[in-house]
């Protein structure tokens, strides 16, 4: 017979087994019902039956235990205890008169006393199969087998040294695992568990993403007047969705700005290409629309208009004042279209999640409240290269730079223009001292 049933037995399977036992079905018949092998059913009953301890005189199942007065049958002449009462030696192994009162029925199929007529008043050792208790026992054993450290002390120490060193360089755990997967004796989930239970030198507080998130706030409906502002006409998020209905999401670039402190001075223009998650950083002298336009003009001039149009066909940004001069951004000096600009709804940063998510990498190196005035574009290029070299689970444990292929001439031209290059995985550094001048 071909038994197709595979995998772990479920609670419903165990209920079927218990029902079959009460119906006095053979293991073979129960197995046919579940499409399993009979040996699977027998093993399940033997492994997960519940033992009920017998009530014997002095916990000794010998027929003569109650009247037995024998002493010293083990050879210890200094003991004054009756052998039947001894808790240190098993008198059964020494006594030739031992006769067990225990029932032997459970030693053969079905190995339990569920259907025994004398079960209600039996005082002997007995076994019962209960689907509920059997399922709980299996889950408990499975949980215990997966808890604790299951690697050697040497493996744990070697892993601890590696992880601690790279985390203190500011590298995310997912990036470390992507580069050193073959060297680590555990999976990424287990590594998080070891840190969570205090088995490693680093703690949860050292993992930025573990402690940095705040509960999301409910969306706030925006005033209708804001929606009707002239620069947003035909460029709302709803218009963006209609525009992209027949297009591909890979052509979208999300755009935003990052402030240092609440003062006039340098601002950071950030862009992320959805096609490969590469983030671009441009340090601007201020947060004015003219500065954003100069970045667009620089890219267009350095790449050529056709390349710019292929790399940045659609831009999605927020409603900041620096992005309101639509024609300056969408059109060239010769009034040719170079891109299509759309705006997210107010208070809806989730509509451009990639750029918002990647801003946290910037904050690893430039914390909130630190002025940008002391930095140069060379600093931002260095930071950009380290960010884009981080391997991520969402990219199949590759970095954004590693997604750029040799035949993607447009991306290679952009990387050459902005001096972008891959940082070796173990040299990725995302801590404030990255930009400290030595």
- Mention every residue, 6+ apart, whose C-beta is less than 8 A from residue 117: none
User: For residue 210, what pLDDT band results from cuts at 50, 70 and 90?
Assistant: low
Which of 35-39, 57-61, 162-166, 313-317 is predicted least confidently? 57-61
Percent of the chain with pLDDT over 70: 93
Q: What is the pLDDT of residue 379?
A: 94
Mean pLDDT of the chain: 87
**What are the CA-CA distances from residue 102 to residues 61, 107, 127, 281 (Å)?**
6, 11, 12, 81
Range 221-233 average pLDDT: 61
- Tell me: pLDDT of 213 over 70: no
Q: What is the pLDDT of residue 341?
A: 93
CA dist 152 and 72 (Å) reads: 47
Q: What is the pLDDT of residue 112?
A: 93
CA dist 392 and 397 (Å) reads: 5
For the segment 145-176, what is each residue's pLDDT rounded down to a tens digit?
A: 776 677 888 988 999 999 999 999 989 898 99
Residue that the structure tokens 């008198």 belong to:
91
12 burial type by CB count under 10 A (0-12 exposed, 13-18 middle, 19+ buried): exposed
Q: What is the pLDDT of residue 217?
A: 57
CA dist 172 and 424 (Å) reads: 14
Q: What is the pLDDT of residue 166?
A: 92
- Mention every residue, 6+ apart, whose C-beta is less than 8 A from residue 211: 204, 205
Q: What is the pLDDT of residue 221?
A: 52
| Contact indicator for 174, 399 with CB cutoff of 8 Å | no
Q: What is the pLDDT of residue 391?
A: 94
Does an H or E element contain 41, and which? helix 38-48
| Contact indicator for 178, 397 with CB cutoff of 8 Å | yes
| Contact indicator for 125, 53 with CB cutoff of 8 Å | yes
| Contact indicator for 268, 293 with CB cutoff of 8 Å | no
Range 132-136 average pLDDT: 94
Please state at what angle helix 27-34 crosses helix 38-48, rounded to 10 degrees. 110
User: For residue 224, what pLDDT band results from cuts at 50, 70 and 90?
Assistant: very low
Q: Write out the two tokens for 266.
A: 């340098």
Residue that the structure tokens 């076994």 belong to:
127
| Contact indicator for 47, 8 with CB cutoff of 8 Å | no
pTM of the predicted model, to two decimals? 0.66
User: For residue 225, what pLDDT band results from cuts at 50, 70 and 90?
Assistant: very low
- Mention every residue, 6+ apart, whose C-beta is less than 8 A from residue 205: 211
Range 234-256 average pLDDT: 86
* DSSP letter, residue 202: S
Q: Is the preceding omega at residue 110 within 30 degrees of 0, hence cis?
A: yes
Q: What is the pLDDT of residue 212?
A: 54
Helices and strands (H, E) in the chain, number of each type? 16, 7
- Tell me: pLDDT of 300 over 90: yes
Q: What is the pLDDT of residue 47?
A: 94
Q: Write out the two tokens for 150.
A: 């299951």
Phi first, then psi, for residue 416 (nearest 5°) are -70, -40
Range 103-123 average pLDDT: 87
**What are the CA-CA distances from residue 64 to residues 99, 101, 404 (Å)?**
7, 9, 85
CA dist 402 and 278 (Å) reads: 10
R_g over Cα of the chain: 36
| Contact indicator for 421, 399 with CB cutoff of 8 Å | no
- Tell me: pLDDT of 227 over 60: no
Percent of the chain with pLDDT over 90: 48
List, in sequence order, every beta strand (DSSP E) within 162-249: none
| Contact indicator for 175, 428 with CB cutoff of 8 Å | yes
* DSSP letter, residue 423: P
Q: What is the pLDDT of residue 125?
A: 86
Q: Write out the two tokens for 307.
A: 């390349």
For the segment 393-408, what is each residue's pLDDT rounded down to a tens digit?
A: 989 999 999 999 999 9
| Contact indicator for 41, 31 with CB cutoff of 8 Å | yes
Q: Which of the listed ranges 204-208, 213-217, 272-276 does the model predict with the highest average pLDDT? A: 272-276
For the segment 49-108, what is each residue's pLDDT rounded down to a tens digit?
A: 998 888 888 778 888 888 888 888 888 888 888 888 887 888 888 888 888 888 888 889
User: How many other CB atoms are there within 10 angstroms of residue 314's CB atom?
Assistant: 19
For the segment 261-298, what is each residue's pLDDT rounded down to a tens digit?
A: 766 789 999 999 999 999 999 999 998 999 999 999 99
117 burial type by CB count under 10 A (0-12 exposed, 13-18 middle, 19+ buried): exposed
Q: Which of the listed ranges 18-22, 120-124, 231-235, 260-264 does the model predict with the highest average pLDDT? A: 18-22
Q: What is the pLDDT of residue 228?
A: 53
């Amino acid at each position: 017979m071909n038994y197709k049933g595979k995998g772990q037995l479920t609670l419903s399977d165990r209920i079927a087994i218990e029902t079959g036992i009460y119906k006095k079905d053979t293991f073979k018949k129960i197995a046919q019902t579940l499409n399993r092998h009979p040996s699977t059913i027998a093993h399940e009953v033997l492994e997960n039956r519940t033992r009920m301890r017998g009530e014997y005189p002095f916990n000794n199942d010998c027929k003569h235990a109650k009247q037995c007065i024998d002493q010293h049958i083990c050879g210890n002449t200094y003991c004054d205890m009756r052998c039947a009462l001894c808790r240190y030696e098993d008198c059964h192994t020494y006594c030739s008169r031992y006769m067990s009162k225990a029932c032997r029925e459970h030693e053969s199929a079905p190995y339990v006393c569920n259907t025994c007529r004398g079960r209600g008043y039996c005082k002997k050792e007995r076994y019962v199969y209960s689907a509920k208790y059997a399922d709980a026992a299996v889950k408990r054993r499975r949980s215990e087998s997966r808890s604790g450290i299951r690697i050697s002390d040497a493996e744990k120490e070697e892993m601890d040294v590696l992880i601690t060193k790279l985390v203190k360089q500011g590298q995310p755990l997912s990036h470390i695992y992507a580069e050193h997967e073959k060297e680590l004796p555990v999976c990424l989930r287990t590594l998080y568990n070891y840190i969570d239970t205090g088995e490693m030198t680093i703690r949860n507080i050292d993992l930025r993403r573990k402690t940095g998130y705040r509960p999301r706030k409910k969306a706030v409906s925006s005033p209708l007047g804001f929606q009707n502002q002239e620069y947003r006409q035909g460029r709302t998020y709803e218009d963006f969705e209609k525009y992209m209905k027949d297009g591909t999401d890979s052509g979208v670039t999300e755009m935003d700005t990052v402030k240092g402190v609440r003062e006039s001075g340098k601002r950071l223009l950030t862009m992320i290409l959805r096609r490969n998650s590469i983030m671009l950083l441009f340090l601007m002298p201020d947060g004015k629309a003219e500065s954003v336009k100069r970045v667009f003009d620089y890219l267009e001039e350095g790449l050529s208009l056709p390349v710019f149009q292929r790399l940045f066909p659609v831009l999605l940004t927020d409603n900041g004042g620096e992005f309101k001069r639509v024609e300056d951004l969408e059109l060239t000096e010769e009034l040719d279209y170079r891109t299509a600009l759309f705006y997210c709804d107010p208070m809806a940063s989730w509509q451009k999640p990639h750029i918002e998510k990647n801003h946290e990498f910037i904050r690893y190196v430039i914390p909130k409240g630190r002025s940008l005035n002391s930095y140069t574009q060379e600093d931002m290029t260095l930071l950009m290269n380290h960010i884009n070299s981080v391997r991520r689970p969402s990219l199949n444990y590759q970095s954004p730079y590693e997604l750029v292929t040799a035949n993607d001439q447009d991306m290679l031209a952009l990387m050459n223009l902005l001096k972008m290059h891959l940082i070796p995985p173990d040299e990725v550094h995302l801590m404030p001292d990255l930009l400290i001048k030595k």
